[in-house]
């Protein structure tokens, strides 16, 4: 009889652990350990035996896509540069576009070694990273008439989540 109670207790414990275990997922990232509630999406930071809720603003800032302010460069040819970024799985994903495709920008695409450099800064103005983008590698985006209207490039670089959170400003430098 004691043996039956022991077996039933073990089976009940395994059953309950299995049921409760499916409700949560533990995720280890480059900045810590997190428990995610699969049912409602709540995220808690695990520190030893303490669970701390992760504020929604922190989650959005760490993982959301950022549409940065458009830069207007008067020389050459009043070029507008647009930048979109996103952090995911230890990488900074970025897409940069430059328009209009004419004058010096069009000529730079044909010149070997021409590039633009995306520089990111923290809130105090310290440069955190720089990404060189060869202009010859940028794809032409055409308008409705089929003529090149702008250039676009997408890529990614390794970056820790904390570093992505610290990105506050950006600039673009040209070499052509």
3-state secondary structure of 135: helix
Q: Report d(CA 134, CA 75) in Å as an integer.
A: 19
In the chain, where the domains are located: 20-54, 66-175
66-175 fold: Immunoglobulin-like (2.60.40)
C-alpha triplet 43, 44, 48: angle, nearest 5° = 155
pLDDT tens readout for residues 10-29:
444 544 455 545 788 787 76
- Give the pLDDT of residue 36: 80
Q: What are the pLDDT digits (tens) for 77-100?
A: 888 999 999 988 889 999 999 999
Tokens of 116: 């633009």
pLDDT of residue 1: 53
Residue 96: strand, helix, or coil: strand
């Amino acid at each position: 009889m004691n043996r039956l109670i022991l077996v039933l207790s073990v089976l009940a414990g395994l059953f309950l652990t299995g049921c409760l275990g499916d409700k949560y997922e533990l995720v280890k990232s480059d900045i810590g350990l997190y428990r995610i509630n699969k049912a409602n999406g709540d995220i808690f930071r695990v520190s030893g035996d303490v669970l701390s809720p992760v504020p929604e603003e922190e989650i959005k800032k760490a993982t959301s896509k950022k549409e940065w302010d458009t830069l207007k460069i008067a020389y050459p040819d009043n070029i507008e540069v647009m930048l979109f970024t996103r952090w995911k799985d230890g990488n900074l994903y970025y897409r940069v576009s430059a328009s209009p495709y004419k004058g010096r920008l069009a000529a730079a695409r044909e010149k070997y070694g021409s590039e633009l450099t995306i520089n990111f800064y923290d809130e105090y103005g310290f440069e955190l990273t720089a990404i060189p983008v060869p202009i010859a590698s940028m794809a032409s985006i055409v308008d409705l008439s089929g003529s090149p209207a702008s250039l676009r490039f997408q890529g990614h670089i390794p970056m820790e989540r904390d570093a992505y959170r610290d990105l506050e400003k950006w600039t673009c430098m040209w070499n052509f």
